[in-house]
């Protein structure tokens, strides 16, 4: 005798609730992701249709103020960025000073006594090692604080210097676009600093007495640069007072594109579309997996629901398999994706809707064929 829906829910209420939560989470994630993807694709297409290609050799054109422009050429950095104490000077868009401090770090290894004692007991072993860390480790939270004290602050902070004037051709690059230069390259200079308390080893500056035996509280400094003078780059942004700044589409999306190398208008937008598709597919996979987990948690309730629908009897007579759970999660995912794209890419949306309904069509045809075979058998008798 089959259980009722309410009886089954009472029996599996915890996994069912988890399933409902995962179902809502997966649906919301896919809906948000597809809405974002459609919005971004539409904005990129709008920008592509409105962009004006400029040459780095022509003067600033006042008549295109407020318009979206594309320009590619070699970076022109006005002044080098320097750190006099370390003898570092480089003509680049960014210079990053990375500071690490030698500190105590706590490691915890859990122990499980299991059946070796009368009642199951758990414990932990604590180990303390010293490492170079970018962030401050608070030793006040250690299990064993005695003999493992870290300083309460790092005397020198990590910092990023940004060049005030950077150009491509006659156009200056605005702050928002300069902040996109994040492909850092390590500075490997061999110029030793004048200060005796700073030691240079393998491109790293140590504030310590002995490079090979640092003490807790010692610091070391590394430098990185991004966007060196003369490096080819391509920028798409709005021209405003001779400065390249972010452009806002009719949907409020911000367009400020930066790529290294000389790229045409079509090439840079193709690259942006490819990156957007990659991000979208990663979230689609996460959303589909969440829906699959929801189907696993709700499989007993789904089985009862499918038993009430005649076309689905054949897949619900036994326990719902993993392949059935996967098929259901893929169908729901495809349906959500199709609804999001129905106005922007209608033909693709129709194809996705048909794909999402394929399990229903398959089961309906199987049910119809089974009915036909049964009728033919009765007529033969």
Is residue 207 pLDDT above 80, yes or no?
yes
| Contact yes or no for 128/106 (Cβ under 8 A) | yes
Please report the pLDDT score of residue 235 as a whole number: 97
What is the average per-residue pLDDT within 40-66? 93
Sign of CA dihedral 164, 170, 175, 177: negative
**H or E element: which one contains 71?**
strand 68-77
Please report the pLDDT score of residue 318 as a whole number: 53
Q: What are the residues facing 245 on neighbouring strands?
A: 238
Please tell me which residue, 335 or 82, carries the higher pLDDT value. Answer: 82
**H or E element: which one contains 53?**
strand 52-53
Is residue 309 pLDDT above 70, yes or no?
no
Closest of 68, 71, 27 to residue 235, by C-alpha: 71
Is residue 117 pLDDT above 60, yes or no?
no
Is residue 119 pLDDT above 50, yes or no?
no
| Contact yes or no for 294/332 (Cβ under 8 A) | no
- Using pLDDT thresholds of 50, 70 and 90, give the confidence band for residue 371: very low
Please tell me which residue, 19 or 132, carries the higher pLDDT value. Answer: 132
Closest of 97, 53, 83, 95 to residue 71, by C-alpha: 53
Is residue 179 pLDDT above 50, yes or no?
yes
Pairing outcome for strands 243-245 and 232-240: antiparallel
Please tell me which residue, 24 or 374, carries the higher pLDDT value. Answer: 24
Cβ burial of 103 (10 Å; 0-12, 13-18, 19+) is buried
Mean per-residue pLDDT over the chain, rounded: 84
Please report the pLDDT score of residue 348 as a whole number: 74
Closest of 156, 224, 150 to residue 185, by C-alpha: 224
**What span, in angstroms and rounded, lies between the C-alpha atoms of 264 and 349?**
31
Please report the pLDDT score of residue 108 as a whole number: 87
DSSP 8-class letter at 76:
E
Q: Of all residues in the chain, what percent are helix, strand and coil, respectively (each to 5)?
A: 45, 25, 30
What is the average per-residue pLDDT within 20-29? 89
Please tell me which residue, 119 or 60, carries the higher pLDDT value. Answer: 60
Is residue 14 pLDDT above 70, yes or no?
yes
DSSP 8-class letter at 139:
G
Domain ranges of the chain: 5-43+275-380, 70-263
Q: DSSP 3-state assignment of 328?
A: helix
Is residue 306 pLDDT above 90, yes or no?
no
Number of Cβ within 10 Å of residue 209's Cβ equals 11
What is the average per-residue pLDDT within 51-62? 93
Please tell me which residue, 52 or 377, carries the higher pLDDT value. Answer: 52
Please report the pLDDT score of residue 1 as a whole number: 42
Closest of 181, 182, 165 to residue 173, by C-alpha: 165
- Using pLDDT thresholds of 50, 70 and 90, give the confidence band for residue 332: confident
Percent of the chain with pLDDT over 70: 80
| Contact yes or no for 50/67 (Cβ under 8 A) | yes
Please report the pLDDT score of residue 325 as a whole number: 63
Question: Any idea which of 13-17, 52-56, 272-276 has the lowest mean pLDDT?
Answer: 13-17
Percent of the chain with pLDDT over 90: 52
Please report the pLDDT score of residue 171 as a whole number: 96
**What span, in angstroms and rounded, lies between the C-alpha atoms of 47 and 249?**
7
Closest of 308, 312, 288, 304 to residue 370, by C-alpha: 312
Please tell me which residue, 75 or 111, carries the higher pLDDT value. Answer: 75
**What span, in angstroms and rounded, lies between the C-alpha atoms of 217 and 151?**
6
DSSP 8-class letter at 276:
H
């Amino acid at each position: 005798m089959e259980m009722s829906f309410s009886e089954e829910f009472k029996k599996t209420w915890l996994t069912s609730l988890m399933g409902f939560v995962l179902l809502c989470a997966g649906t919301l994630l896919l809906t948000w992701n597809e809405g974002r993807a459609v919005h971004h694709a539409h904005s990129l297409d709008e920008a592509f249709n409105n962009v004006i290609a400029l040459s780095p050799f022509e003067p600033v054109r006042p008549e295109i103020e407020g318009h979206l422009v594309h320009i590619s050429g070699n970076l022109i950095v006005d002044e080098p960025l320097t750190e006099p104490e370390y003898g570092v000077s480089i003509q680049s868009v960014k210079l990053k000073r990375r500071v690490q401090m030698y500190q105590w770090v706590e490691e915890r290894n859990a122990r499980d006594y299991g059946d070796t004692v009368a009642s199951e007991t758990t414990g932990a072993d604590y180990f303390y090692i010293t490492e170079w860390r970018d962030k401050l480790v608070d030793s006040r939270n250690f299990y064993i604080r005695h003999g493992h004290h870290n300083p309460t602050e790092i005397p020198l902070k990590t910092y990023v210097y940004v060049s005030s004037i950077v150009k491509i051709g006659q156009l200056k690059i605005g702050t928002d676009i300069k902040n996109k230069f994040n492909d850092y390259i390590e500075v490997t200079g061999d110029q030793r600093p004048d200060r005796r308390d700073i030691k240079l080893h393998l491109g790293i500056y140590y504030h310590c007495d002995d490079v090979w035996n640092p003490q807790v509280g010692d610091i070391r400094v590394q430098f990185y640069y991004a966007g060196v003078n003369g490096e080819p780059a391509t920028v798409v942004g709005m021209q405003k007072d001779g400065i390249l700044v972010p452009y806002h589409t009719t949907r409020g999306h911000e367009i400020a594109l930066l790529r290294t190398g000389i790229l045409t208008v079509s090439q840079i937008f193709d690259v942006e579309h490819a990156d957007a598709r990659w991000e979208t597919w990663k979230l689609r996979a996460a959303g589909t997996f969440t829906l699959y987990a929801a189907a696993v948690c709700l499989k007993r309730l789904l089985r009862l629901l499918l038993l009430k629908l005649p076309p689905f009897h054949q897949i619900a007579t036994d326990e719902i398999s993993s392949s059935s759970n996967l098929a259901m999660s893929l169908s729901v995912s495809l349906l959500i994706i199709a609804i999001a794209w129905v106005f922007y890419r209608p033909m693709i949306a129709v194809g996705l809707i048909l794909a999402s309904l394929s399990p229903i069509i398959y089961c309906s045809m199987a049910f119809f064929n089974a009915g036909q075979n049964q009728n033919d058998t009765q007529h033969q008798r």
